[in-house]
Structure 1
């Protein structure tokens, strides 16, 4: 499936919708569960969060340490705390979206039984539930544990993406929000994209909206902080651009060294070679 403008627009809309759902969900979690208010920048002392389990209490402590790290030498005021909490929410949302996208791409390549593509009716989860029964709680709770077990398995090879204990991957959407996100990811217009290698790259580019990028450039010609620097330059390089660069650098070096006696003339579709070009073999490959 070609990533034409219409396809990219649809994927951009998907990423924006999923980001909003996840940002809203994690903002609520921080406020209602972990005592971090995204709107007011207020932090509830841990000793007042008596409702937390040991795991959630550890997460709450980690979130506070992350917030302090992001603030750094900045003044400890409500505005700086709001900016830090906003960053936490954004990074958690980015991690979860990429995890779910990665699982769907594994499904599309036959590396994983259906896990997300039919939600809680997915084949892999049905098999898991037969074994687990009711030991893990209701269906939503069991599905959550099932996904966590997959994350832990894949974290052995891809910890940067799947490590549930990493500071940027600590949160996970509750059942209602998760189902809404999966509805978006499994839309019939989007499903064919999970078989395409470039999908993750476009998700990377579209997570930060074009409107946000335009607003930054309008406010200042030069980036004012590290986030602006990242957002302004967060662009995905499509495959054809990479192939063009490789074909006309490494490919061209090899073509010249062999005096044109190479199959690269036919195999490299972007190699710029005249039909009758026959260079003298180069003495050195450089």
Structure 2
């Protein structure tokens, strides 16, 4: 896995997404915007959220929401978890497969009928639009994300109306974030689930550096900035090392001849016999507390 390429992409993606979301925010909140006419409740919700938090926090959160969705969908496409690829073109094509299928009048059941009707109207030029394919694709993305909410609510929260309003515009060009994402999230890279963790780590790395710089200046860190400094990705081997030498160690002390030793690659056997340890007779007796 080329972590250097992942880092470059993730850092650039954060800046790009923030810029695009910020531009959409200005457009949506304009006095006579189309959004105010067509989705007044969503705009009201957006203004309320900005008032409750801040403009920058909304931009940061929405940008990461879409980054998270895009990378998850690319990983799912690469591993065959999606029946029709959502952010990945079919072989020999340039547009995402789900859009190509919709252009051929094939729209999956995961898309609500109302949205499907809008998509057909856009792609058949029955609805005026400066970018019919782009609009249709954004509708497909929202429907897909909401569809996956049932199976993975922790990853695909139902998209709030204002989050949809602030979706980045450029998703189909050769220079789009999706195109650049596919270049680094290759099929090979996506065989390792750690690619998602590394992307998150690199996405927040510049924010983390900023927070640490504030700490050095004794600047108070607000609650929304704490995750950038504390929620760090832990590579698989470190997790294995910690588990093998805590839970695994406890089991081996109670069962010195256990064959579980054969699968604990990072286990370090004690140099001297130990007598002071928790006695257990079955795995069910073990209770684990994660203070985090």
Q: Distance in 1 between matches of 2:265 and 2:14?
A: 37
Q: Which residue of 1 aligns with 2:35?
A: 52
TM-score, normalised to structure 1, is 0.76
The size of the alignment, in residue pairs, is 252
Q: Could you say if the C-alpha distance between residues 204 and 105 of structure 1 is closer, same or farther in structure 2, counting changes exceeding 3 Å?
A: same
1:86 aligns with 2:86: no
Unaligned runs of 5+ in 1: 2-6, 36-47, 71-83
- C-alpha root-mean-square deviation of aligned residues, in Å? 3.0
Q: Distance in 2 between matches of 1:61 and 1:24?
A: 22
Alpha-carbon distance, 1:198 to partner: 1.3
Q: Distance in 2 between matches of 1:276 and 1:109?
A: 46
Could you tell me which of 223, 235, 238 is aligned with 1:238? 235
Q: Distance in 2 between matches of 1:166 and 1:251?
A: 47
Alpha-carbon distance, 1:123 to partner: 3.1
Unaligned runs of 5+ in 2: 107-118, 124-131, 287-292
Could you tell me which of 27, 31, 43 is aligned with 2:22? 27
Q: Distance in 1 between matches of 2:163 and 2:142?
A: 15
Q: Could you say if the C-alpha distance between residues 13 and 95 of structure 1 is closer, same or farther in structure 2, counting changes exceeding 3 Å?
A: same
Q: Could you say if the C-alpha distance between residues 63 and 178 of structure 1 is closer, same or farther in structure 2, counting changes exceeding 3 Å?
A: farther
TM-score, normalised to structure 2, is 0.75
Q: Distance in 2 between matches of 1:55 and 1:159?
A: 28
Aligned residue runs from structure 1 range 236-275, under 5 A: 236-258=233-255, 260-273=256-269
Q: Distance in 2 between matches of 1:238 and 1:166?
A: 35
Aligned residue runs from structure 1 range 1-286, under 5 A: 1=1, 7-35=2-30, 48-49=31-32, 51-52=34-35, 55-70=38-53, 84-112=54-82, 113-118=84-89, 121-131=95-105, 134-137=120-123, 138-162=132-156, 163-165=158-160, 171-174=166-169, 176=170, 179=173, 180-187=176-183, 189-191=184-186, 192-208=188-204, 209=206, 210-220=208-218, 223-258=220-255, 260-273=256-269, 284-285=280-281
Q: Distance in 1 between matches of 2:72 and 2:86?
A: 11
Q: Distance in 2 between matches of 1:150 and 1:50?
A: 27
Partner secondary structure for residue 121 of structure 1: coil
Q: Distance in 2 between matches of 1:107 and 1:236?
A: 23
Moved more, 95-104 or 224-233: 224-233
Q: Distance in 2 between matches of 1:55 and 1:262?
A: 66
